[in-house]
Amino acid sequence: MSYDSQPPTPPPSPSSSPSPRRFGRGNVTVTVAVAALVPTALAGWLVWQAMSGPGDSDPPKVVPLPGQSQSQSRSASSPADAKPSAPTTPPAATASPSRTKEEDKPVATAPANGPLAGKVVVVDPGHNPGNFRHTREINRLVDVGTHRKECDTTGTSTNGGYTEASFTLDVSRRLRTLLEQQGATVKLVQNEDRPYGPCVDERARIGNEAKADAVVSVHADGSAVGNRGFHVILPALVKAGAADTSKIVGPSRDLGTRLAGKFVQATGSAPSNYVGGGTGLVVRKDLGGLNLSTVPKVFIECGNMRDPKDAALLTDGGWRQKAAQGIADGIGSYLNG
């Protein structure tokens, strides 16, 4: 998640009450009654209905909520590409709930056979746990094609102090294992093996240089309490400076739509009730990780860390395994056609 032009604030302590996050560039807060949440079965139907929308060659459209402008319908915290409130010190140490120990394991070699044999997948765990200690470095500006943006951001956290960077690494490691078991060659953009970053332009370059068949950037949002559900961010049609997404808009929409449908099936989570108009799909043109990609790429915001009900899911290891499975199933569906 990221915040456009917001001076960073450290993640809240467990005793602090959540303050509403900025929604895009405005201060719009969407309150949705629990009774209005889309039931899981209907949510899945809505996501798959997205597949009958614009053709792959058509630039997808953001579907703003009633009364919103398109800019207001943007995520309150997009993945790492806009300025967060970077604290000067790391958050208080808290045990990551149900964390895996995959960081202590050697990287497995993909089997020679399997449904994804010969496919290359790049998994991009949003942010980096070390970003909190390197605010000067991550705040430097880099070229994202359409304009210049901060190198990276710190991400958000739950009210209990579980950071987005910890969440994204855990889900990404689980995802890597699932994909490798199906024969895919998987590369993590970062595995807590560097002090900070990488910057958003380098994240895109890693996928490009790997000639990846698909790239997925894993995130969790930091919106207001009551805003629930996941959404997948698709690249807009952008041709400016170093950015040209014309060849990846269609394939990325196919990847994102399949991913959203499989995520509903695996997790039981509904699409976002605050962006995407119930489809779970949002289009953005301001993210360097998408603008600079030359291979199919999407971002997924798995839930809202600042909502207590979503946070309960995001901090549960069993649910994170379901999330990884849903993402893996979506990638597999896309790669297998």
> Which residues are catalytically annotated?
301
Strand 185-188 and strand 231-235: the pairing is unpaired
DSSP string over 202-216: HHHHHHHHTT-SEEE
Collapsing DSSP states into helix, strand and coil, what is residue 283? Answer: strand
CB neighbour list of residue 202: distance below 8 Å, 6 or more residues apart: none
Q: Identify the CA nearest to 222 among candidates 60, 49, 20.
A: 20
DSSP state of 79: S
Q: Give the span between the Cα atoms of 276 and 267, in whole angstroms.
A: 19
CA dist 145 and 239 (Å) reads 8
Sheet holding 297-304, edge to edge: 185-188, 120-125, 214-221, 297-304, 231-235, 281-284
Eight-state DSSP code of residue 132: G
Considering only CA atoms, which of 102, 293, 120, 127 is closest in space to residue 194?
127
Structural tokens at position 247: 């060849």
Give the whole-angstrom CA distance, residue 23 versus residue 71: 9
∠ CA 228-175-217, rounded to 5°: 60
CB proximity list for 101: less than 8 A, separation 6 or greater: none
Neighbour count for residue 165 (Cβ, 10 Å): 28
* Alpha carbon distance, N-terminus to C-terminus of the chain: 29
3-class state of residue 289 by DSSP: helix
Q: What SS3 class is residue 235?
A: strand
